[in-house]
Amino acid sequence: MVAPSPTEFVQRQSTEVFDRLKAAGLLRCDGPTGVPLSYDLGNNDALAMSQCGAVISCGVDAARAWGAGSRSSRLLGSSHALHDRLSSATSPFLPDGWSSLLLGSGSSANQAFAEAFALLFPNAEVFLDHRCHASLHEAWRGQRKASSVLLFRHRSCHHLLEKLRHSTAEVKLIVVESLHSMDGDFECAETLAACCREVPGCMIFVDEAHTAGNYDSFLWCLSEENRSLLFPHIVGVMAGCGKAVGVSGGLLVVPAELKKACFQVARGLIYTTAPSPFVVAAVAKSCELLVGAEGKKRRAELEKMTEAFQMGLRNLLAAATSEWTFSFQAKSPVMWLRSRSGVRRTRQLAEELGRLGVNAPFIRAPTVPRGTERLRLSVSLHLDVSTVLQSFRSALAAVDQSLSSEKQEK
C-alpha cells in the first residue's frame, strides 16, 4: 500500500473540517479579488491618509535613501535616524517623560507592552474587558497565570469594581479598547477614572487602534474631555497606525522606563525585523499632518459624513418591511447592522450589497458572540454617502422581495 503524499494527506484531513465549518456558516476565505467594488465599508482608513500624497512621497523618499527593507531587527542596527524623526513627530502630543516606539503591527505592540509590564510588575493582576481585541487576550494570557487575568463584562463599571475590590494585588492593570472594533462603542472614561480613584493601585492600558489620529490631541485618552479624567491613571497606550494614520504598525506610547523595558524582553523588537524605512517615515509624516490643520480638516469632514450616514441608514431601516438592529454611537465611524430574523438574512444583505459594488463585511462567530453575527460598517472619507445609501435601499428591497417569495412558495 502506497502512503499518501503530504498534499493528499492534508486534502483528506481538511475535507471534514472545512465541510463542518461551511455547514455552520463559519468558513472564512480570502475576499473576492475579481469583484469590482465602488465603495468599501470594511475600510478602516477613516481619514483617507493612505492616499495622502505627502505621506506617500515621504515614504518613497525614505525607501530611496535607506532601501526597501530595514534588513534586521532594531537591536541589530535598524534604529536609524528615521526613528528619531518619528520620535520628534510624536513628541508634541506626548506628556513629559513619555516616548513612542513603532512595532510592526498593533498586535506586536500590545504583546510588547504585556512583556515589558510583566518584567516590571510580575505580581500584578490584569483586568480585561471581555470584548477586547483578540491580540490583547493573547498578549496577557501569554504573560500571566490564568488566575491573574480577570475578565469583566463589556463596559460594566459594576462588574469591574466588584473584581477590583476583591483583588489583593498591589498593582492592578485595567486593559480596554478606546473604541471597540466590532461593537463601535467607546469605552467610558468616567467609569475608568472612577474605578481608579476608588481602588488603590489601579493603572490603565488603552488600545487605540480605532481612535489614534481621530482627535486633535491624536489620542483619545489625551483628548480635551478625557485628559484630566484618564491621564493620571494611564500607564500605556497602543496607537494603531494602520487605520486612521493610514500606513501600518503599532505605536506604543509609554513612559521612558517602560520603553527601556521593551528593549529587554519584547520579542517584537528583539527577534523581529524592524518596520521598513517607508513605513517609519510615512507614519512620522502622517502624525505630523494629523496633529495640524490638515488633520483637523479631515476629522471635521469625517464627523459630518458619519452623522449623515448614520441618520440616512437609520431612516432607511425604519421604512424597511422587516426589522433590523442598527447600532451606532455619535462620532463613531464604526457601527453594525444585523437582521432579527437571523444569520441567513444578514448574510444575504451583504451579498446583495456586494453585487451593487459595496463591501459590507459579514462578521461571524467567534469574532463576535454566536447569535450576534452582523455586518460591520466603517465610514471613511473614501465614501460617497448618498450613493452608498442608495445601494442600501436597493439591497434591502431585494432581500425583502426574496423573503416574500420564499413565504409564498411555502
Enumerate domains of the chain plus CATH numbers.
51-291 (3.40.640.10), 296-404 (3.90.1150.10)
- Over residues 127-144, the mean pLDDT reads 91
pLDDT, tens only, 161-203: 999 999 999 999 999 999 999 999 999 999 999 999 999 999 9
Bridge partner list, 327: 336
What's the whole-number average pLDDT of the chain?
92
Residue 128 CA: distances (Å) to CA of 163, 195, 289: 11, 14, 33
Biggest CA pair distance of the chain:
74
pLDDT, tens only, 30-50: 765 555 678 999 999 999 999
Residue 172: count other Cβ atoms within 10 Å of its Cβ: 23
Q: Which of 34-43, 145-154, 285-294 has the lowest mean pLDDT?
A: 34-43
Residue 405 CA: distances (Å) to CA of 267, 339, 396: 57, 18, 14
pLDDT tier at 268, thresholds 50, 70, 90: very high
Taken in order 331, 103, 99, 142, the sign of the CA dihedral is positive
pLDDT of 342 reads 84
Using DSSP, state whether 272 is helix, strand or coil. Answer: coil
Directed axis angle between helix 277-290 and helix 293-318, to 10°? 80
Taken in order 265, 270, 136, 97, the sign of the CA dihedral is positive
Question: Taking CA 110 as the corner, what is the angle to CA 29 and CA 366, rounded to the nearest 5 degrees?
Answer: 35
- Distance, in Å, from the CA atom of 42 to the CA atom of 190, rounded to the nearest integer, reads 30
pLDDT of 3 reads 81
Residues of the chain above pLDDT 70, percent: 94
pTM (predicted TM-score): 0.92
pLDDT, tens only, 335-391: 999 998 888 899 999 999 999 999 999 998 888 988 899 999 999 999 999 999 999
Residue 146 has pLDDT above 60, yes or no: yes
- Main-chain phi, psi angles of 250, to 5 degrees: -130, 125
